[in-house]
Homo-oligomer: A and B are copies of this chain.
Amino acid sequence: MKLPLGYQYGSTYARIRKVKKDDLALIVSDTPAAAAAVFTSNRVKAAPVVLAQKNLKASKGKVKAILINAGNANCATRTGDEVARITCEAAAQALSVDPNLILPTSTGVIGVELDPSKITRSLPGLVKKLSPGKFQQVAEAIMTTDLVPKTATAEVSLSQGSIHIAGMTKGSGMIQPLMATTLGFLMTDAAIAPARLRPLLKQAADASFNRMSVDGDTSTNDTLALLANGASGLKLSAKDEPVFLDALTYVAQELAAQIARDGEGAQKLITIQVLGARTDDDATRIARTIANSPLVKTAIAGSDPNWGRILSAAGNSGVAFDPRQVDIALQGMLVCEGGLAANFSEKELKKRLDAKDCAIEFHIRGKGKGHARFWTCDFTEGYIRINASYRT
């Protein structure tokens, strides 16, 4: 895997979380990068989300560094705004740039005061240790209840040569990104006009992070950022945009699927495909309702081909459709044909459902062209165990 040129990474243990595991990280562009970001749609927004939006505006879409801490969301706290400001200023000072070039992000528990000195005193040492090779180390430092780090890369051949995209993300619970994800960072060494960056990110996010759910809870801290520093020396032309968007979407979808696969307590990645709806929006609503149904998710956990729950969940999506026109396939086997039980081998299907990847296809017969792909995971006792005592 070849990383984009012109970025350095670093992480350290700042004692924000109790367990000794890096919890503070920086992603730094050698020169300020053109940047775009999408944020949570939750009405309750964490302090770093509010400041990140302000900084992006003040810097006219430029970012020198992304400052990340895990272990504390810096949300719903007395000192949140001040902590976000102080830590951005400290990062800016350590990097000798303007504070509005810092994009602050936090993830972890909500409602617990975050001591800014833990971060400010760690920053000078962290900046000294920055290096282009510590990409993976940062992907590990931003994990909370994640079991594995989540990264993806792509190389894009443009007319004049190759540029690179790399992304990392984290998250395992409180996952139903509606504007972006819990935390996701996409870096490229292409030079991209700032005005084009946001629409490209928005399109990639809508086809990836915004079509994924672990538990239907949208976090207060969701941030997905895209940096383009131009270090490859190649500028993205209008002609190159589609191939770049494809690669960006691929990286974003890889990351989104990795989050679902690593959902809290999850044993299986579930990919839901809805076809034949009136519009893509209708298809997404049906897919999201199936993905968030605890009954569907527990059935998959138990390798139980209980397609009635899938049909019932779809019926609750608010989308109008005729149940008699619905075919449902599980692991490629038709289980429901025209709204009724199909003739399938339950024994064979149960065996197929024991796989780590589960495919649900929901097809409405007729002329509808609306479709959606959506990622989620099964719902196991592990989710309960993790979440009955996450905080205390």
Chain A positions within 8 Å of B, measured between CB atoms, are 41-44, 73, 75-78, 109-113, 173-174, 215-220, 292-295, 298-299, 301-302, 304-309, 311-317, 319-321, 323, 336, 339-341, 346, 350, 379-381, 383-385, 387-392
Contacts and interface: CB of A to CB of B under 8 A. Distances in A.
13 contacts: A76-B308, A76-B323, A78-B341, A109-B308, A111-B308, A113-B341, A174-B312, A216-B293, A219-B312, A302-B389, A302-B392, A305-B392, A384-B384
Copies of this chain per assembly:
2
Contacts of A174: 295, 309, 312
B217 A312 contact: yes
Contacts of A311: 44, 76, 110-111
A304 to B, nearest CB: 5
Contact of A217 (B110, B293, B391): B293
Contacts of A43: 314-317, 319-321, 323
Question: Chain A interface secondary structure, helix, strand, loop or mixed?
Answer: loop
Pairs of residues from A and B, 8 with the lowest C-beta to C-beta distance, nearest first: A110-B308, A302-B388, A44-B315, A298-B387, A111-B308, A43-B315, A381-B381, A42-B315
Contact of A294 (B315, B346, B383, B385): B383
Contacts of A73: 308
Contacts of A350: 392
